Amino acid sequence: MLKINNLHASVEDKPILKGINLNVKPGEVHAIMGPNGSGKSTLASVIAGKEEYEVEEGEILLDGENIDELGPEERAHQGVFLSFQYPVEIPGVSVTNFMKTAINETRKAKGLEDMPANEMLKMIREKSEMLEIDRKFLSRSLNEGFSGGEKKRNEIFQMAMLEPKLAILDETDSGLDIDALRIVANGVNKLKSKDNAVIVITHYQRLLDYIVPDYVHVLHDGKIVKSGSKDLAHELEAKGYDWIKEEVNA
Amino acid sequence: MELKEKLVSSFMAFENMVDIDSPVHDIRTEAIKNFEIEGFPTKRQEAWKYTSLNSVLKHDYSVFPKHENALEYKDVKKYFIHEIDCYKIIFIDGKYSSHLSQTTHDGIDVCLMSAALSKPKYRLVIENYFNKIASKDGLSSLNTAFSAEGAYIHIPKNKLVEKPIQIIHFSTGNEAALMLQPRNLIVVDENSHVQIIERHQSLTDNPVLTNSVTEIFTNKRAIVDYYKIQNDKKSASLIDNTFVNQKQESLAKVHTFSFGGKLIRNNLNFYQNGERIDSTMKGITIIGNKQHVDHNTLVHHIEPNCESHQDYKGIFNDNATGVFNGKVIVEKEAQKTNAFQANNNILISDKASINTKPQLEIFADDVKCSHGCTIGQLDESAMFYLRSRGIPEKEARALLMFAFSNNVLDSVKIPAIKNRITKIIANKLGVSIGFDL
C-alpha cells in the first residue's frame, strides 16, 4: 500500500530524512520509534504532504502511484490520514461542522453528493460512542481549550469518521493518561481491518502494549537503522536508544 | 470648477427647493459657511493621515439628480434582508421611493427626514435633537448644509419594535457622477428597543460619493442595534459620519461590515452622557483589489461606571489598504470605566497594508482600559491541518477567515442578517460552502 524508496527530505535546506525505505502492506501495523530529533514527525508530515518540507530524492508510492506532486488534501482524498502530535485550535468551528466539511469535501473530490444529514448524524453518534466522547464535546470549537487527552481523542474521532486507508498516528500517546490511552487504542484497534494500515510513531513502548505492531523500525538521524518484531520495542524500552546509536556508529 | 466651489455655489439653488423660513435653515446656512472655511479634509490632518479623498473628489458630481427614477422591487430584492418582515425607508438617487418603502406612524414614527423637517408635529423633536451631536468638521457641515432627506425614526418610550428597520440608498447611474448627502435622525426614548439595518447600494459603474450623517439618541435604558452593510460597487465611495449620544443605562451596538466599495471612511462617535452606559462597536472588513476602508472610532467616557467594547477584524488581500484609528477618552469624572478595544488583522498579500492606531486619553485613575492590535498572516500550520483532512486550499483559507471573524458574526442577533453576511463573505472568498459556524 505504502512504499517509500530512498526518501530524502529537508526543511530550509537542512536535511532531515536521509534515505528512508519502508514498505507497508494492507492489514499491517508498523511502529516507528526513535530518539527525539531523529526525524519521526518529519516523516509523518512528509507522507501527509506538508509543503514546507522539500523532497530532495526518492519517492513515496501509494498503491503504486507517486504522490509527490499531490497536495495534502489530495492525499487525504486518497485515504491518507495523519493524527497530529499537536492538533491546531480553530476557534469558531465546531467539531461537528468541521467533520461535515471534511467529509463532504472528500466526497465532492470523488464526485459524490454531500452525505445526507441523517446519515452524517448517525455516523457521528456511532463513532463518538465508540470513543466514549460526550455529545456536548462535539459542539465545542475544534481543539479550543481541549485538554491534551481530549485533543488526541478528537484526532482519533476524526480518523474514525474519515475511515482512512493509511493512518499515521504521530505521538498519539503523549499527553494521555492510562484510561484515555486505552480508549484511544481500542478505537484504533476497532478501525483496523485487512484493507487498511496503521503507522504508529512513538517515543515510548507504552502505546504498543495496546496497539500491537507487526513491525518495529528504529529511526536514527534520518534513517531506519534497525527493524524487527514487537520484541524490539521491549528491548528499546529496557535498554534505551544509546545502544542503537553505538551500533550504528560502530 | 473644484468640487468645493461647486457645492458652495449650489447652495443657492438648494435654497429654492427647501423652506428657508424654518429654524433648520439657519443651521444649514451656518453649516455651509463652516464648510466653506473647513473644506474637505486632507492628509495633513492627523485624523486623515492614511486616507486621501483626492481620488474620489476628482469627479464632476451632480449635486441634485435631474431625473426621478423608479426601480422594480424584483430587480433590487437581493439587496434587502427580505427573509424577515421589516419596515423600509428606501431612497433612489437621494429621492424617497414610496413604492419600495414601508413606513409607519402607528405608535412609532418610521418615516422621512423631509417630512420631519417640514411638518409641525415633529417640530419639537427636531428642535431638541437635529444637529445636536453632529460634529462641525467639513464633511459633516457639508451634509448639514444640504440636509433635506434621509430616515427619520422616533421611538417613544416603552416600545419594543420587533420588526427591524431597513434604510437603503440606491443610486441608479442616470447621472454621470452623483454625490449624495443623506441625513438620518434616530431618537429612541426611555426603555425602547429598535434594530436598524443600513445599506448604500450603487447599481451603476458611474462614480457615486455618499457623505452621510446619522445622529442617534438613546435615552434612558434604551437599546439600539445598528447594522451597517457596506458591500457596494467598486465605483462607489462612502463617508459615513455617525454620532451616538447615550443617556444612562442605555445600550448602543453598531456592527459595520465592510466588503465592497472603492473607498469607505467610517467616522463612528459615541458620547456617554449618563452612568452605566454600554457602547459596543464591532466590525468585519474583508477587502481586496485597490479598496480602502478606514475605521475612525471615538468613545467619549464622560460619566462613571460605563463600558465600551470595540472589536474590529480585518482581512486584506491584493493591494487593499486598511486603517483603524480608535480613540477612547476617559474624563476625570468617569471613574470605574471599562474600555476595551481590539483590532486584529490578517494580510493575505504582500502588497496589502493596514495602519492601526489605538489612541487612549485617560484622565481618571480608577479605570480598566485595554487595547490590542495584531497584524499577521494566516496560520500555515492550521492550513496544513485543515488540508490534511481533505479540505482544499481555498476552502481551508476561507474556513480560517470565518473562524477569525467569528466572534463578531456571533454577536449579530438577527439570524437573517448573520446568514446574509455569511453568504456575502463566502461569495467574496469564492467558496460555495456555508460553514454554518
Owner of C-alpha cell 418615516: B111
Instruction: For residue A91, give the nearest of B395, B403, B433 by CB distance.
Output: B403
Report the mean per-residue pLDDT for chain B. Answer: 94
Q: What is the pLDDT of residue B406?
A: 85
**B436 lies in some domain:** no
Residue of A50, A81, A99, A170 to mutate when probing chain B, most B C-beta within 10 A = A50
Query: B346 touching A, CB under 8 A?
Result: no
Rounded to a whole number, what is the largest CA-CA distance in chain A?
61
**B434 lies in some domain:** no
Domain count, chain B: 1
Buried b / exposed e over B36-68, threshold 16 CB at 10 Å, is bebbbbeeeeebbebbebeebeebebbbbbeee
Q: How far apart are the first and last CA of chain A?
A: 34
Instruction: For residue B437, give the nearest of A82, A97, A158 by CB distance.
Output: A97
Instruction: For residue A97, give the nearest of B384, B396, B436 by CB distance.
Output: B436
Q: What is the pLDDT of residue B141?
A: 98
Query: B407 touching A, CB under 8 A?
Result: yes
**CB within 8 Å: A92 and B406:** yes
Instruction: For residue B435, give the nearest of A50, A72, A93 by CB distance.
Output: A93
The chain B residue lying nearest A162, using CA atoms, is: B389
CATH assignment at residue A157: 3.40.50.300
Task: Find, among B260, B256, B159, B244, the residue nearest to B208 by Cα.
Answer: B260
Query: Based on C-alpha coordinates, what's the Rg of chain B?
Result: 21
Query: B399 touching A, CB under 8 A?
Result: yes
Instruction: For residue A72, give the nearest of B379, B382, B387 by CB distance.
Output: B387
**B324 lies in some domain:** yes
Mind listing the pLDDT tens digit for each residue in B157-205? 999 999 999 999 999 988 889 999 999 999 999 999 999 999 999 999 9
Residue A246, C-beta contacts closer than 8 angstroms, at least 6 positions apart: none
Number of Cβ within 10 Å of residue A196's Cβ equals 19
Residues of chain B in contact with residue A48, where contact means CB-CB under 8 angstroms, are: 384, 388
Which range marks the domain in which residue B182 is found? Answer: 3-429
Q: Which regions of chain B are under pLDDT 70?
A: 1, 432-437
Domain count, chain A: 1
Residues of chain B in contact with residue A104, where contact means CB-CB under 8 angstroms, are: 433
**B437 lies in some domain:** no
Residues of chain B in contact with residue A87, where contact means CB-CB under 8 angstroms, are: 385
Residues of chain A in contact with residue B392, where contact means CB-CB under 8 angstroms, are: 71, 73, 105, 109
Residues of chain B in contact with residue A76, where contact means CB-CB under 8 angstroms, are: 387-390
The chain B residue lying nearest A79, using CA atoms, is: B390
Cell triple for residue A191? 478501525
CA atoms in the 13 A half-sphere facing the CB of B230: 32
Whether the CA torsion B97, B293, B244, B146 is positive or negative: it is: negative
**CB within 8 Å: B390 and A93:** no
Alpha-carbon span B290 to A229, nearest angstrom? 62
Which range marks the domain in which residue A194 is found? Answer: 2-249
Query: B109 touching A, CB under 8 A?
Result: no
Residues of chain B in contact with residue A94, where contact means CB-CB under 8 angstroms, are: 437
Q: Which amino acid is at B171?
A: S
**CB within 8 Å: B403 and A109:** no
A-B contacts (CB, under 8 Å):
87
| The model's pTM | 0.88
Alpha-carbon span A141 to A213, nearest angstrom? 34
Residue B55, C-beta contacts closer than 8 angstroms, at least 6 positions apart: B262, B263
Task: Find, among B184, B154, B179, the residue nearest to B168 by Cα.
Answer: B184
Smallest Cα distance from B428 to chain A, Å:
19
**CB within 8 Å: A162 and B381:** no
Backbone dihedral angles phi then psi of residue B24, each to the nearest 5 degrees: -60, -30
Q: What is the pLDDT of residue B86?
A: 97
pLDDT per 10-residue tile (average), chain A, 250 residues: 96 94 96 91 96 94 94 97 94 89 93 93 93 89 90 94 96 87 92 95 89 94 92 88 82
Smallest Cα distance from B388 to chain A, Å:
5
**CB within 8 Å: B399 and A73:** no
Instruction: For residue B393, give the nearest of A45, A48, A73 by CB distance.
Output: A73
Alpha-carbon span B28 to B11, nearest angstrom? 9
Residues of chain B in contact with residue A98, where contact means CB-CB under 8 angstroms, are: 389
Alpha-carbon span B196 to B205, nearest angstrom? 27
Sequential DSSP letters for B110-154: EEEHHHHHH-GGGHHHHHHHTTSSS--SHHHHHHHHT---SEEEE
Number of Cβ within 10 Å of residue B361's Cβ equals 11
Query: B411 touching A, CB under 8 A?
Result: no
Instruction: For residue B387, give the nearest of A71, A84, A97 by CB distance.
Output: A71
**B435 lies in some domain:** no
Instruction: For residue A105, give the nearest of B392, B404, B436 by CB distance.
Output: B392
Residues of chain B in contact with residue A100, where contact means CB-CB under 8 angstroms, are: 436
